[in-house]
Structure 1
Amino acid sequence: MQTADGGLRARHKAQRRSRILDATRELLRDGPEAVISTERIAERAAVAPATVYNLIGPREKIWEALAAGFMDELERRLAVLGAGDPREVVRSTVRLFVEDPVVSRRMVREWEASGLVLDRTPLTQLRRAMAEAQTRGILRADVHIDALAAVVGTSCVGALHQWVAGLIDDDRFLARALFALDVVLAASAADAHRDRLLTPLLTRGTATT
Structure 2
Amino acid sequence: MRTERVRTSGGGLREQHKARRRVRILDATRALLREGPESVISTERIAERAEVSPATVYNLIGPREKIWEALADGLMDELEDRLVALGSGDPQDVVRSTVQLFVGDPVVSRRLVRGWEESGLVLDRSPLVRLRRAMADARTRGLLRADVDTDALAAVVSTACVGALHRWVAALIDDDKFLANALFALDVALAAAAADPYRDQLLAPLRTRGAV
- Tell me which residue corresponds to 1:157: 162
Say which of 177, 180, 197 aligns to 2:182.
177
Structure 2 CA distance for aligned equivalents of residues 145 and 78 of structure 1: 19
Q: Which runs of 5+ in 2 are unaligned?
A: 1-10
Say which of 68, 71, 83 aligns to 1:78.
83
Correspondences of 1:47-62 after superposition (within 5 Å): 47-62=52-67
Say which of 69, 85, 105 aligns to 1:100.
105
Decide whether aligned partners of structure 1 residues 41 and 57 sit closer, same or farther in structure 2, where only a CA change above 3 A counts: same
- Tell me which residue corresponds to 2:206: 201
Partner SS for 1:139: coil
Correspondences of 1:1-209 after superposition (within 5 Å): 7-112=12-117, 116=122, 120-204=125-209
The one-letter code sitting in structure 2 at the alignment partner of 1:20 is I
- Tell me which residue corresponds to 2:5: none
Structure 2 CA distance for aligned equivalents of residues 147 and 189 of structure 1: 15
Partner SS for 2:209: coil
Q: Is the 8 A contact 1:83 1:125 kept in 2?
A: no
**Cα displacement (A) at 1:46:** 0.2
**Cα displacement (A) at 1:192:** 1.1
Decide whether aligned partners of structure 1 residues 169 and 114 sit closer, same or farther in structure 2, where only a CA change above 3 A counts: farther
Runs of 4+ in 1 over 3 A off after TM superposition: 112-117
**Cα displacement (A) at 1:114:** 7.2
Q: Is the 8 A contact 2:32 2:41 kept in 1?
A: yes
Structure 1 CA distance for aligned equivalents of residues 106 and 157 of structure 2: 22
* Percent identity of equivalent pairs: 76
Q: Which runs of 5+ in 1 are unaligned?
A: 1-5
CA deviation string 1:2-44 (max 9, x = no partner): xxxx611100100000000000000011111111000000000
Decide whether aligned partners of structure 1 residues 76 and 17 sit closer, same or farther in structure 2, where only a CA change above 3 A counts: same
- Report how many aligned residue pairs link the two structures: 200
- Tell me which residue corresponds to 1:3: none
Decide whether aligned partners of structure 1 residues 170 and 132 sit closer, same or farther in structure 2, where only a CA change above 3 A counts: same
Structure 1 CA distance for aligned equivalents of residues 152 and 137 of structure 2: 15
**Cα displacement (A) at 1:84:** 1.5
Q: Is the 8 A contact 1:74 1:121 kept in 2?
A: no
Q: CA RMSD in A?
A: 1.7
Structure 2 CA distance for aligned equivalents of residues 153 and 90 of structure 1: 9
- Normalised to the residue count of structure 1, the TM-score between the two structures is 0.91
**Cα displacement (A) at 1:131:** 1.3
Structure 2 CA distance for aligned equivalents of residues 115 and 94 of structure 1: 20
